[in-house]
């Protein structure tokens, strides 16, 4: 009787027909004086327990999200020949970096309902952040934030950047810019069919300072007085050295 109940429960559980197996070319990025950005390969496959359906076709979406960072978005208007602030919105935790790579057009690989559920697209992810608007519609500030960080390359949508082979193997590269902030960067991989998510996997990339840069950063954070005194001493030494060099050149 107990065995029959166990079998009944197991058969009642939903079976995941497709699952993600993936990897990253590196899971840690070290920032030093010569760091000018890096590329990370994201690759994987869709593992199945049965032949894939002929339709709808498999699609892949990959997102990389940087640590949250506070920002204030201001709206300016031209009044009496002068540009003045007419409102602002405080965003306490907008992603410092957010990239979306897909196998095709966004409206072909994901439905609005699934985007609402998983916060995948750039506007939906930004819109999910708690915001404090001082004036005006929040949607306007969200669009402005997306435009500003999109222009700098911090937010981007790369349609067709994910290569999908034989409806199973996929790969893409994400370019991380030179102005990265330290922290954990979250990688999400979505498999979709007919615009609906059939599986999701998450992994992480750790970004941190290394070597002398890390030592100076930790000193500035933990011992600001000592850091300030050393900085003043080095500045004074550099000034004295330059003055002495010029004096000798004039002799």
**Range of the structural domain that residue 146 is part of:** 15-210
Which of 195, 210, 225 is the endpoint of a domain? Answer: 210
Residues 77 and 195 in one domain: yes
Residues 205 and 251 in one domain: no
Task: Supply φ then ψ for residue 5, to 5 degrees.
Answer: -65, -40
pTM for this structure?
0.77
Q: Is 56 helix (H, G, I), strand (E, B) or coil?
A: coil
Rounded-to-integer distance, Cα 74 and Cα 135, Å: 10
CATH of the domain at 52: 2.60.40.3880
Rounded-to-integer distance, Cα 36 and Cα 43, Å: 23
Residues found in the chain: 251
Residues 180 and 60 in one domain: yes
Local confidence pLDDT in tens for the 251 residues of the chain? 444 443 343 344 444 579 999 999 999 999 887 888 999 999 999 999 888 888 899 999 999 999 999 888 887 776 666 777 677 777 888 899 999 999 999 999 999 999 999 999 998 888 777 665 544 567 778 888 888 899 999 999 999 999 999 999 999 999 999 989 999 999 999 999 999 999 999 999 999 887 555 545 555 556 666 657 676 777 777 777 777 777 676 66
Residues 137 and 221 in one domain: no
């Amino acid at each position: 009787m107990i065995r029959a109940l166990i079998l009944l429960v197991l058969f009642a559980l939903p079976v995941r027909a497709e699952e993600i197996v993936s990897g990253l070319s590196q899971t840690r990025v070290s920032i030093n004086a010569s760091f000018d950005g890096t590329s990370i390969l994201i690759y994987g496959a869709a593992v199945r327990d049965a032949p894939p359906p002929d339709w709808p076709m498999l699609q892949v979406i990959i997102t990389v999200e940087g640590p949250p960072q506070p920002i204030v978005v201001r709206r300016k208007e031209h009044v009496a020949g002068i540009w003045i602030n007419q409102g602002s919105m405080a965003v306490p935790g907008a992603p410092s970096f957010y990239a979306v790579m897909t196998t095709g057009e966004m409206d072909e690989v994901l439905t609005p309902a699934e985007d609402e559920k998983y916060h995948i697209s750039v506007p939906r992810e930004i819109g999910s952040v708690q915001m404090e608007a001082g004036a005006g519609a929040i949607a306007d500030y969200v669009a402005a934030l997306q435009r500003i960080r999109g222009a700098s390359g911090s937010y981007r949508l790369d349609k067709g950047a994910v290569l999908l082979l034989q409806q199973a193997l996929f790969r893409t590269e994400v370019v991380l810019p030179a102005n990265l902030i330290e922290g954990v960067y979250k990688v999400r991989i979505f498999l979709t069919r007919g615009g609906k998510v059939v599986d999701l996997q998450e992994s992480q990339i750790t970004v941190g300072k290394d070597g002398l840069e890390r030592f100076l950063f930790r000193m500035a954070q933990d011992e600001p007085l000592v850091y300030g005194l050393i900085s003043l001493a080095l500045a004074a030494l550099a000034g004295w050295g330059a003055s002495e060099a010029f004096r000798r050149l004039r002799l």
